[in-house]
Amino acid sequence: MGEPLILAANLSVDFPVRGALGKKKKVHAVSDVSLTIEKGKTFGLVGESGCGKTTLANLLLGLVKPDAGSILFDGKEITDISQKQLKIVRRDMQMIFQDPLSSLNPRFNIFRIISEPLFIRGGYTRKQMEARVLELLELVGLPASSLHRYPSDFSGGQRQRIGIARALALNPKFLVCDEPVSALDVSVHAQILNLLMDLQKELSITYLFISHNLAVVRDICQSVAVMYLGKVVETGNAQTIFDHPVHPYTQSLLSAVLDVDADNKRERIILQGDIPSPIDLPTGCRFHTRCPNARPECAIHSPELREIESHHRAACY
Amino acid sequence: MSEKILDIKNLKVIFPASSNVIRAVEGIDLTVDKGQCVAIVGESGCGKSVTSMAIMRLLETPPALIQTDALTFDGKELTALSQKEMQNIRGRDISLIFQDALTALNPVMTIGHQLDEVYIRHEKLKKKQAKCKSVESLRLVGVPDPERRYHDYPHQLSGGLRQRVLIAMAFALNPKLMIADEPTTALDVTIQAQVLDLLKIMQKAHKTSLILITHDLSVVSYMADVVYIMYAGKIVEKSPLKPLLRAPLHPYTEGLLASVPGLSGTNGRFIQIPDAVPDPANKPEGCYFHPRCRYCTEQCKTQKPRLTEAGHGRLVRCWYPLGRKEEV
Amino acid sequence: MKDRIKDLSGFLLKIWRHPKGRVGAVLIALLIFTAILAPLIAPYDPYDVTARSEKGLAPSLSHLLGTTITTGQDIFSMLIYGTRVSLLVGVVSGLSIAFLGAILGVISGFLGKWADMLIMRLVDVMLVIPTLPLTIVLTNLFGKSYGMIIFIFTLFGWTGLARVVRSQVLIIKKSTYVKAAQLAGASDFHIMFRHILPGVSHLLIMNTALTSAGIMVAEAGLSFLGLGDPTAISWGKMLAEAQSGGALLFGHWWWILAPGIGIFVSVFAFMRLGLALEEIFNPRMRRTSSIRKLWKSMNGAYLQDVFHSMDEEPVPVLQKERVAVRE
């Protein structure tokens, strides 16, 4: 068990929203989530749209203040610190985004894009910035001639590399990868994922890997948390969870992943109905409305995360 | 000999631009039998969406220029029809499902109203009759509480439900052919499973032929009977499904199959195809795939391979298809 | 810095290459020249009371557009001097509207909450106020001058731009490259000046060109109504004088045509530039007509060759009928 970089405990956040008749309602984005991210490892966050994984990432990055709970980043409490202190801590955190089109300012050339974090931090001469940018370009496998070109000259995969170079500019300890390959062509996925893994080995960065593509998560992450409607339903070692998923939601997610194996047809568990709204949550266990194993007590009490085996916890009866 | 519902011969589409010509589709042949599901697989920029638009004659000319030897649908030559006749065919005999339901549906009309329009326009039904049929369609695609949902607007529905509405609209008039362009790409995994299942059921129930356009081979493996792999405007492999998955002939197909991470694990490293899809305005010399091909030879760099038969109804465009040692 | 200069010259070149842009640019340059060098170009000084000629002359070699019925001023010279007022009012108003609209739009969109509410309410209020009566009141209170006119145009003109800028700012604010900058610790200041303002610059430039065009017409209208500076020479005033001086009555069409053409040319020039900018900034705006023209200029045989090049096996003995689809 390695040293934790991030210790999040009992995080909750709600967003106020105006209901249908002007009544003030709350979107329960994240409810009582705790997790531990080890240094130098990749932590996977899996779930479908609306499950709160993006909000959770924003919480960990300090972009959103939690209503309850605490976050320890490298031993320091970051939930209640001032904006100024937060800015300093944030230099150690960065993010790469899903859409390579909108994550780069089309008016900036590549040099300006990658050097922007350096520029913001200040204290670098032009020569130093150029040297660092060239270093980063080499790191992500892009030619030095890219410096003066514009994002529109590059393909999706290349733009994602530029985004990665920018994220690495200030040598962050923590990198959130928000669906980094979902918007790219399938044949390019492997390139970017391999790059991320190589960079992790070389620079000892800790990743939070957010994805809805379970097969990818399995291969790149050591630990995983599965989220549903703002709560973690299952968490633990990635291999273990994918080999023996315990929570019915995890089981259905895994079975929904299609395989290209012509001969192996797995039993697919199709869930009934739609994902409920995070405003009007189901009572008791949030998953019970779609759960194939639902029992009467599931509608009344929400189950806690219990230890199934070492490094494997699930919230189900 | 099964009957063909669609027969395309030598379809070519170009987009003349100021300094060069973009060759979007370079002479493809495609056939769909009745009741069959044909998949066109390719990544962005390979010309698959242009092909589907060309079939429906929805490509704006200008800026596109289309030329084809034959475009036969159910025995009729589509290119010989007027726009008006084509409009009658669209929606009734051939229908199209888009990727993004939100942009395909009119945001200011209720979904019920939009469904009604389909019936009113093509079957000349009265409003009441159309409403009946619409509610029934919604029920058939599994929209819960269809009488209430009939009055909802598109943005009030989730992505999965919207896609079901699109499917309902597409199947409403019992079309002979349906073209689904990336129908599940924007959806969550569990919803994707639901929608694909629905599509499969509806297709079998109505005996509709389906052209499935996607980049996702896992979707193809679930749905398709015959697969066409497109690259840079050309068909590079055509094959029935199982042989393609078991033993791909074209290196690109091999690469695509390898990049689908199976749940069986890849031992820490993903197999990658280097570089990226070529710019349609600037294609390589010789075989279009050669810069990314592991098996590239001198011949591949200079000579364009032709589409050749490879037995069992398979076609491949490669000088050195996999599994074969001799030159084709 | 070198990058910026290269970008700027590349941009100007783009305008030159664009057919509408070239026309607009040339005409605007012509107008600016005329305005600046008016004393040198104009054969007579219309302000000089002593240099008046005979009243009501028809166009001739000595007076290219004749003279006015009322005062005997050379109409051609008045036309030339009129560019000064039009350009001054048009461009200065356009620029101040751009300035005010940009600032308020950016503040409103970026800071949000109360600033946004305040500014948007202000916009609503301004839109309700009847502009013409207010103009009459203000010019009567504070005197008729073009400074006043510019002030009034700016006062009423910023609202539309601010709204559009605000929408664009909201879009940029949500984009992930701004989020990336924020994560790296960027201050609001940095984001506003390095991302948001440049992001709306296209909008501003385009809008200024088109707004200036509109203002020139409006100015002519106000001068026609007598709300402009009575001592200055403007096209609007010329039209007013022509009407009251009996140009229609006596058939002196040249007196009406001259300022009319002046207004037309200047508005046309700015509109051409504005439309060219619109097409340059948003390539999807290129209309079908320009694409058709492009096609005509292309060699039909060349296109056929392109199609042929895609064929593979030579056509066998059986004649295949090629069905070309072109609508």
Name the residue in chain A with its Cα closest to that of B256: A187
Check residue C283 and give its pLDDT.
Answer: 66
Asked whether residue A115 is assigned to any structural domain, the reply reads no
Q: Do B193 and A253 touch (CB under 8 A)?
A: no
Distances (CA, A) of A292 to A273, A287, A300, C53: 11, 10, 17, 101
DSSP A4-26: EEEEEEEEEEEEEEE-TTS-EEE
Rounded to the nearest 5 percent, the helix, strand and coil shares of chain C are 75, 0, 25
Residue A111 lies in a domain: no
- Length of chain C in residues, anyone? 327
Round to whole Å and give the CA distance between C316 and B210.
Answer: 32
pLDDT value of residue C1:
59
Whether the pLDDT of residue A142 is over 80: the answer is: yes
**Type of residue at B306:** R
CB-based contact (8 Å) between B271 and chain A? yes
A interface toward B at CB cutoff 8 Å? 48-49, 155-158, 185-191, 193-194, 197, 212-216, 218-219, 242, 252-263, 268, 270-271, 273-275
d(CA B10, CA B72): 12
Give the pLDDT confidence score for residue A274 in this predicted structure. Answer: 65
Tokens of A64: 């959103």
Q: In Å, how far is A82's CA from the nearest CA of chain B?
A: 37
Instruction: Give a three-class secondary structure readout of A269-308.
Output: CCCCCCCCCCCCCCCCCCCHHHCCCCCHHHHCCCCCCEEE
- The predicted-structure confidence for C4-63, as pLDDT tens digits, reads as follows 777 778 788 878 878 888 888 888 888 888 888 888 888 878 777 777 777 777 888 777
E strand spans, chain C: 323-325
pLDDT at B1 over 80: no
C254: closest CA among C54, C3, C66? Answer: C66
Top-ranked range on mean pLDDT: pick from A209-218, B55-64, C160-169: C160-169
Distance CA(C275)–CA(A274), nearest Å, equals: 48
Q: Is the N-terminal amide bond of C316 cis, ω within 30° of 0?
A: no
pLDDT at residue number C324: 30
Q: What is the pLDDT of residue C284?
A: 63
Is residue A15 situated within a structural domain?
yes
DSSP C314: P
Query: Of the candidates B44, B144, B222, which has its C-beta nearest A258's C-beta?
Result: B222
Nearest to B67 among C291, C312, C324 (CB): C324
Average pLDDT of chain A, as a whole number: 81
Residue listed under structure tokens 């996977």: A44
- Which residue from A95, A240, A112 is spatially nearest to A174, judged by alpha carbons? A95
Within-domain flag for A134: no
- Cα(B258)–Cα(A309) distance, rounded to whole angstroms? 33
Per-residue pLDDT at A135 = 92
**Concatenated DSSP letters of C223-287:** HHTT-S-TTS--HHHHHHHHHHTTHHHHT-HHHHHHHHHHHHHHHHHHHHHHHHHHHHH-GGG--
Per CB distance under 8 Å, which residues of B are interface residues toward C? Answer: 10, 12, 14, 16, 18, 21, 23, 26-27, 57, 61-63, 65-71, 77, 79-80, 83, 306-307
What value, to the nearest 5°, has the Cα angle with vertex C156 and ends C151 and C157?
Answer: 95
Q: Would you call C180 and A163 a contact, using CB atoms and an 8 Å cutoff? A: yes
Cα A290 to chain centroid distance, Å, stands at: 25
What confidence score (pLDDT) does residue B236 get? 92
Q: Mark yes or no for CB contact C321/B69 under 8 Å.
A: yes
Give yes or no for a contact between A261 and A278, defined as CB atoms under 8 angstroms apart: no
- Given this model, what pLDDT does residue A164 score? 94
Q: Kindly give, in sequence order, each residue whose CB lies less than 8 Å from that of residue B175, ignoring residues fewer than 6 positions away.
A: B91, B92, B93, B94, B95, B206, B208
Q: From CA A297, how far away is CA A22, in angstroms rounded?
A: 33
- Look up the domain containing A283 and give its range: 4-92+175-181+206-314
How many CB atoms within 10 Å of residue A276? 16
Give the pair of three-digit tokens for residue C256.
């009406």
CATH of the domain at A245: 3.40.50.300
Interface touch C322/B306, C-beta < 8 Å = no
CB–CB of B262 and A197 under 8 A? no
Instruction: Identify from C176, C195, C202, C203 which residue to disrupt to test chain A contact, counting A C-beta atoms within 10 A and taking the largest count.
Output: C176
pLDDT above 60 for A265 = no
pLDDT digits (tens, 9 = 90+) for A227-242: 888 888 888 888 888 8
| Helix (H/G/I), strand (E/B), else coil: C63 | coil
Q: Which chain A residues in 62-101 lie under 8 Å from chain C, judged by CB atoms?
A: 63, 87-88, 90-91, 93-95, 97-99
pLDDT tens-place string over residues A182-204: 888 777 888 888 899 999 989 99
* Residue A270 reports pLDDT greater than 70: no
pLDDT(B325) > 50? no
- Assess if residue A88 is contained within a domain: yes
Domain membership flag for residue A143: no
- The answer to whether the CB atoms of A190 and B270 lie below 8 A apart is yes
Cβ neighbours of A97 in C, within 8 Å: 176, 179-180
- The total number of structural domains in chain A stands at 1
Band the pLDDT of C316: cuts 50, 70, 90: very low
What would the mean pLDDT of C181-198 be, rounded to a whole number? Answer: 87
Chain A residues touching residue C199 (CB < 8 angstroms): 105, 107
pLDDT reading at C183 higher than 90: no
pLDDT digits (tens, 9 = 90+) for C65-78: 888 778 878 888 88
Domains of chain C, start order: 2-309 (1.10.3720.10)
